Amino acid sequence: MPVPPDPILRAAVRWLERLPVSGAARLRALFTAHSEFSDITPTQYEAAYAWIQDTGLLDDLHSSIPARRRVFDSAMLHSRAPWFRDAGLLVCTPDELPDDALRAAASLGLSEDEAFGQLSSVWGKVDTQERSRIGAAGELALIELLEASTAARIEHVAAWSDGFGYDIAVHDAQKSAHLEVKSTTRRGRLTVHLSRNEFETMRRDPYWELVAIRLTLDHELEDVATVPKEWIAAQAPADSGVNGRWESCRLDVPPDVPVPGIACIADALTGEAPAFLKGAAGRSG
């Protein structure tokens, strides 16, 4: 749904501010009869009530978060605006807030800085959940593919602990591979979130490889590539003082950087392994 019109947003705030102490029927009468609330029509009040019900705002009427901030967060989260999915890349400063977000903020009495902070918080939570969901699907899809494409022993070590610094171990008679898996459903852009532990593991573990996986929207694996360790090392931040240390970073990987397939396990692959796993087919964008 689009960001609701200004009267709906303001009416939503009035509902949320008063429902903890008054019933809905009493508030309907108040909003209809009292001149203080006549700037919004009864129809708009009803539309606002339906909206806060649909978005789940009625589930926590006693929240300590101010109503106007809850309404703004919900408006952004449920707007389905095309820019929201990429807000972390598209909206890096308050000056870059889209028009619908600015309109909602002005209607709710939020400054641009406040709106930017709220948007960053909402998008960050959604992005973290989405990355976790897609990441888990990618790991399982790669494990399934490897088990069908090699006789090597496959261990999903990330299912035991996140302390290994990689997700999947591949053990062949000749050698092992430690695969850190990063998954996406996007075409033409790969964004990698790397933890300090993963980076330090890369530096000391000669068997470590970063494997980039592209999934379809149905979580079917359609492409596999490896991001060179030399490129990662060149892009990662550096601690600038003894009292500061980075713990995670985001790397935007250009399309020409990933190398098709997983070269470190090529000798262990069977003849039935798909071409893109062997690196015989290039990435499709």
Residue 285 is predicted with a pLDDT of 45
Mean pLDDT computed over 108-134: 93
Q: Quote the pLDDT of residue 283.
A: 46
- pLDDT classification of 58: cutoffs 50, 70, 90: very high
d(CA 179, CA 169): 6
pLDDT at 82: 87
Task: Please tell me the predicted confidence (pLDDT) of residue 187.
Answer: 83
pLDDT tens digit sequence for 6-32? 999 999 999 999 999 999 999 999 999
* pTM of the predicted protein model: 0.78
In 3-state terms, what secondary structure has residue 139?
A: helix
Confidence of residue 281 (pLDDT cuts 50, 70, 90): low
Give strand ranges (E) for 164-274. 168-171, 176-184, 190-195, 208-215, 221-227, 248-253, 259-260
Does residue 279 carry a pLDDT above 90?
no
Compute how many other C-beta atoms are within 10 angstroms of the C-beta atom of residue 1: 11
Q: What is the pLDDT of residues 210-256, one digit of tens each?
A: 999 999 988 899 999 999 999 999 999 999 988 999 999 999 999 99
Q: How many CA atoms lie within 13 A of 4 on its CB side?
A: 28
Strand pairing of 208-215 and 176-184? parallel
Q: Tell me, what's the pLDDT at 77?
A: 92
More confident residue, 101 or 173: 101
Q: Residue 133 and residue 136: Cα distance in Å, rounded? A: 5
Name the pLDDT band for 280 (thresholds 50, 70, 90): low
